[in-house]
Amino acid sequence: MSKTAGIIVIGNEILSGKTRDENSLYLVRQLRDLGVDVRKISVVPDELNLISIEVREFSNSYDYVFTTGGVGPTHDDLTMEGIAGAFGHGIRRHPDLESTLRQYYQPDAIEANLRMADIPEGARLVGGKGMWFPVIAVENVYIFPGVPEILQRKFERIKEMFREAPFHLKEVFLRADEGQIAGILHRVLAAFPDLMLGSYPYFDNPVYSIKLTLESKDTAYLERAHALLLEELTRIQLNPVKV
């Protein structure tokens, strides 16, 4: 079975449309490449109780949880407190993080800056060696900032710890209508229920109008499903388009 993941995007700016969410798309693609199956993405406002509820539910449902946003020194940065509340923990100031912040901001370090060293009790620092500011994790929850450039640098440093057996992919391109192949797709899934089968229509592509994707971690299983799909398509005289 694949390891599963959920992503929680935290921030009023996402829900109000002031900021575009780039982080969940980046994480989904990275995790897929690592062989992790992302099962759900949620966006929640900067509200303490809602953050705690969502984190608790995700933590109980998925192997890994990734949060983005709400990490910083201002009034609406509630992620640390919300995650602490999800697990019934308090907040404490981590001495190593405080030292790092004092060195960075010297001689102008003020209490608002040092607030970024306040993390949930029981949290651990991941990938800290050689990293200016490590990823903070509580149980199976990994906490990332909302700034895409910083999130990406941090995730790049620790991503190998999540690597699983890879997903294998086959694609089939057709000039057809989805209604023509609906029955075929049902039959293929009935024969191969563990196959991840996707059908995506295109309306302005001159070469093909449907892209089918077949995915599995079992290459032999994938090959058999692919062969059945091609056989069924040939039976109704639908030949794949070469792209």
Q: What is the pLDDT of residue 174?
A: 97
Same fold, 4-162 and 168-235: no
Copy the structure tokens of residue 61. Answer: 């449902």
- List CB contacts of 111: < 8 A, sequence separation 6 or more: none
| pLDDT above 80: residue 1 | no
pLDDT band for position 3 (cuts 50, 70, 90): very high
Domains of the chain, residue spans:
4-162, 168-235
Q: What is the pLDDT of residue 211?
A: 98
Q: What is the pLDDT of residue 128?
A: 65
| pLDDT above 90: residue 118 | yes
Task: Tell me the three state secondary structure of residue 48.
Answer: helix
Record: fold of 4-162: Molybdenum Cofactor Biosythetic Enzyme; Chain A (3.40.980)
Q: What is the pLDDT of residue 106?
A: 83
pLDDT digit string (tens) for 167-189? Answer: 999 999 999 999 999 999 999 99
pLDDT digit string (tens) for 208-232? Answer: 999 999 999 999 999 999 999 999 9
Q: What is the pLDDT of residue 54?
A: 98
| pLDDT above 80: residue 238 | yes
Pairing of β 141-144 and β 64-68: parallel
For residue 107, say if its preceding peptide bond is cis, omega within 30 degrees of 0: yes
Q: What is the pLDDT of residue 239?
A: 93
Averaged pLDDT, 27-47: 98
Averaged pLDDT, 137-163: 96
Cα three-residue angle 93-98-102, rounded to 5 degrees: 150
CATH says 168-235 is which class? alpha beta
Q: Maximum Cα–Cα distance for the chain, whole Å?
A: 75
